[in-house]
Amino acid sequence: MHIYLVGGAVRDELLGLPVRERDWVVVGARPEDLTRRGFKPVGKDFPVFLHPDTKEEYALARTERKTGPGYRGFETRFSPDVTLEQDLERRDLTINAIARDPDTGALIDPFGGQRDLQERWLRHVSPAFVEDPVRVLRVARFAARFAPLGFRVAPETLALMQEIAARGELDALVPERVWQETQRALELPAPRRFFEVLREAHALAVIFPEVDALFGVPQPAQWHPEIDAGVHTMMVLDQACKLTADPVVRFAALTHDLGKAATPKHELPSHRLHEHRGVEIIERMCERLRVPNAYRDLAVIVSKYHLNAHRAQELRATTLLDLLENVDAFRRPDRFEGFVLACEADARGRLGLEDREYPQADFLRRAREVAAKVKPDETFAGLSGEQIAARLRKLRIAALKEM
């Protein structure tokens, strides 16, 4: 029995990045060999064990073979005679198929992962890459994660990703896995690259047709010098990443203009009512991908009310209070802040306007603060529920007029 450090830990170590977790592969062993040493078995699909002290994962060396359609159509074989090279060969990218012998420190790199790390390529290990459609999402996520380091998807790997899309394999992806990879991408410094690679792989139209439909849709040059709604969306996502690390806000930035793809062609390049059309599109997309409610709810209010946010300083006090109430600013101050940040990202996600001032942000924050200070007092005594709400609203409108 021999144990090797594998995968991301070796890759990140070679890149000089922090190693967050370590995974190990065990060659020449059976499950009982590990349990006798105090390892705890976990997982149902294949033998993975937790180290009794470090709690790190140790997996028996295995091979995989596609046996049917879909994400789960794989046959996995575990045997003491499975070699380290065979185990590494089933992995997705060469940079993830490097092992280290902890006893000698030697690297085992049968597929050229070190070379690709040096040359900044994301390259598939073997033609079996096409057997797992999840790899399209994973490569896109790795492209986003390592974009700041200059990594690119190898042309031959991109061709295989396009082949997976053309064969309809992406239809077999389970929604939870799609969202898991997307959420992880949204947490990265450069999530824009995730969506760009999916588009280059012809996968965006399958996985996120609502986003893909924005590309090629014209907008008025007066407000959008970049013209293309898809380009604008990617720019807004970039700006959101500068403003916050919160993936919920970034998702709202990504989806804020989905309604523009539904604009009647005879109305282009104008997009009247796109903010309302986008609500239903967002809700359908979130239902399809099982997106958590927090993401959906912020995305919906940003779509519906972002134009009002841009006009905040021009609004009458009554309309301004309506906006604050509609986005639930008083009960959900954290979500209100996310709303403001997504709207600011929208205003700056335009060609040549990336560094523009957005005074509406502080104006909205101040308006919320002013209105929130107005609370029921002794003058509300004896009023009914509806009367209290009406009087509170009247006093808040008066306070906003004094801003």
Number of independent structural domains in the chain: 4
Ramachandran assignment for 368, one of left (phi > 0), alpha (psi -120 to 50 degrees), beta (any other): alpha
Asked if 81 and 201 sit in the same domain, the reply is: no
Question: For the residues 49-69, what does the mean pLDDT come to?
Answer: 82
Nearest to 360 by CA among 397, 306, 311: 311
Domain end position, chosen among 187, 207, 227: 207
Q: Alpha-carbon distance 192 to 173, whole Å?
A: 21
Residue 382 pLDDT: 74
Q: What is the pLDDT of residues 273-330, one digit of tens each?
A: 999 999 999 999 999 999 999 999 999 999 999 999 999 999 999 999 999 999 999 9
Task: State the pLDDT at residue 308.
Answer: 97
Query: Domain for residue 220, yes or no?
Result: no
Q: Are strands 74-78 and 62-66 parallel, antiparallel or unpaired?
A: antiparallel
Q: Is the pLDDT of residue 73 over 70?
A: no
Q: Note whether residue 221 is domain-resident.
A: no
Give yes or no: residues 273 and 361 share one domain. Answer: yes
Mean pLDDT of the chain: 93
Q: Is the dihedral of CA 132, 192, 180, 346 positive or negative?
A: negative
The rounded distance, in Å, linking the Cα atoms of 360 and 347 is 10
Whether the predicted pLDDT of 71 surpasses 80: no
Decide if 241 is inside a domain. yes
> Do 286 and 330 lie in a common domain?
yes
Q: Helix, strand, coil % (nearest 5) of the chain?
A: 55, 10, 35
Mean pLDDT of 227-253: 98
Residues 262 and 388 in one domain: no
360 and 379 in a single domain? The answer is no
Q: Looking at the structure, do residues 261 and 342 belong to the same domain, yes or no?
A: yes
φ and ψ of 76, to 5 deg: -110, 135
Choice among 33-42, 93-102, 120-129 with the minimum mean pLDDT = 33-42
pLDDT at residue 52 is higher than 60: yes
Task: Say yes or no: 143 and 270 in one domain.
Answer: no
Tallying the residues shown for the chain, one arrives at 403
101 and 154 both lie in a single domain: no
- H or E stretch including 121? strand 121-122
* pLDDT over 60 (residue 146): yes
If pLDDT is split at 50, 70 and 90, which confidence band does 391 have? confident
Domain stops at, among 75, 91, 113: 113
CATH of the domain at 11: 3.30.460.10
Where residue 144 sits, what CATH number does that domain have?
Answer: 1.10.110.30
- 213 located within any domain: no
Q: In this structure, what DSSP letter does residue 79 have?
A: -
Q: What is the pLDDT of residues 345-360, one digit of tens each?
A: 999 999 999 999 999 9
Burial degree of 266 (CB within 10 A; 0-12, 13-18, 19+): exposed
Give dist(CA 300, CA 294) in Å, integer.
10
Same domain, 340 and 299: yes
Asked if 329 and 311 sit in the same domain, the reply is yes
Phi first, then psi, for residue 268 (nearest 5°) are: -65, 150
Asked if the structure places residue 214 within a domain, the reply is no
Residues 306 and 377 in one domain: no
Does residue 276 share a domain with residue 262?
Answer: yes
> Which tokens sit at 48?
């993975």
Write down the pTM of the prediction: 0.92
45 belongs to a structural domain: yes
207 and 139 Cβ atoms separated by less than 8 Å = no
d(CA 315, CA 9): 54
Output the six-digit token pair for 176.
């939870």
Where a domain ends, among 66, 94, 113?
Answer: 113
Give me the pLDDT at residue 379, please: 77
Average pLDDT over residues 182-187: 98
Asked whether residue 301 is assigned to any structural domain, the reply reads yes
Task: Report the percentage of the chain scoring pLDDT > 70.
Answer: 96
**Mean pLDDT along residues 250-257:** 98
- 212 inside domain: no
Answer yes or no: are the C-beta atoms of 144 and 193 closer than 8 Å.
Answer: yes
Query: In terms of residue numbers, what domain contains 393?
Result: 373-403
CA distance 224 to 347: 10
